[in-house]
Amino acid sequence: MTMTDFSFFVLFPYAAMFAAVGAGIYRFTAFKTSVSSLSSQFLENEILFRGSALWHYGIVIVLLAHLLAFVFPGFWRLLGSSPPLLYGMELGGLVFAVSALAGLGILMVRRIAIGRVRRVTSFMDWVLEIVLLAQVATGFLVALLYRWGSQWYLHTAVPWVVSLLSLAPRADFVASLPWLAKLHFLSGFVVLALFPFSRLVHVISLSLTYLFRPYQIVIWLSNGRAKRSK
């Protein structure tokens, strides 16, 4: 293991995980009201809906596939042993990656093109979206250029992450991979490191109190007359 491999695939992942957990807990406890998606839906809704739908459908399916392969590697390997299923997995991964890329592209253009949305966009919003774009784009290119990644992922990235979580890091699992695959892995940990400092942190906030709170009285003013609704 070279010092470069140790720095990128051992030290950096641990630093990213420490930042995500430590800063995430601190923000959730000390600045609980800041844990929000800070949605700009009220400023513009139509383009947001289109981009958000493509992004979420694409990225959620891709992430679930990664998680399924990580948690149930034997089952995932069995799926890949059937050529029709393997072709379907590879094609499906490309399709959903394109969906995520298209959705994220629409959301980024929206931030630039619509002035009122651009004015409420923070520096961290741009950093996060650029890193997410790099993460999804490199994943798409890896799937396109290095075939059957759904299977060799089981013998490289999965044991590498397991070694990190078990505190017995083995960078050699990924050290010999193409630089594009390495960049994809590293950008994933960059996203993890940015997690507590961005609006992504809202995913850990479950508003369960909404299920039990009393009705909220809303008063609509129309033509000078007040109308009440629940």
Domain ranges of the chain: 3-229
Q: Coil, strand or helix: which one is 146? A: coil
Other Cβ atoms closer than 10 A to 72: 12
Token readout for 103 is: 């959705």
The Cα 169–Cα 167 span in angstroms is 6
Contact 200, 27 (CB under 8 A): no
pLDDT of residue 62: 93
- Domain 3-229: homologous superfamily in CATH: Transmembrane di-heme cytochromes, Chain C (1.20.950.20)
Rounded CA-CA distance 31/224 in Å is 39
Structure tokens at 141: 């290119």
- pLDDT one digit per residue (tens) for the chain, 230 residues: 688 889 999 999 999 999 988 887 877 777 665 565 566 666 667 888 889 899 999 999 999 999 999 999 989 988 888 889 999 999 999 999 999 999 999 999 998 888 888 887 888 889 989 999 999 999 999 999 988 888 899 999 999 999 999 999 999 999 989 999 999 999 999 999 998 887 777 666 555 455 555 666 666 565 555 454 44
pLDDT at 214: 65
Give the list of residues 6+ apart from residue 145 with CB closer than 8 angstroms, or none: 180
Q: What is the pLDDT of residue 121?
A: 81
Q: How far apart are CA 30 and CA 222, in angstroms?
A: 40
Beta-carbon contacts of 6 under 8 Å, excluding residues fewer than 6 positions away, are 171
pLDDT reported for residue 157:
93
In this structure, are residues 117 and 44 in contact, taking their beta carbons and an 8 Å threshold?
Answer: yes
Contact 19, 190 (CB under 8 A): no
- Amino acid code (one letter) for 23: A
| Tokens linked to 21 | 């957990």
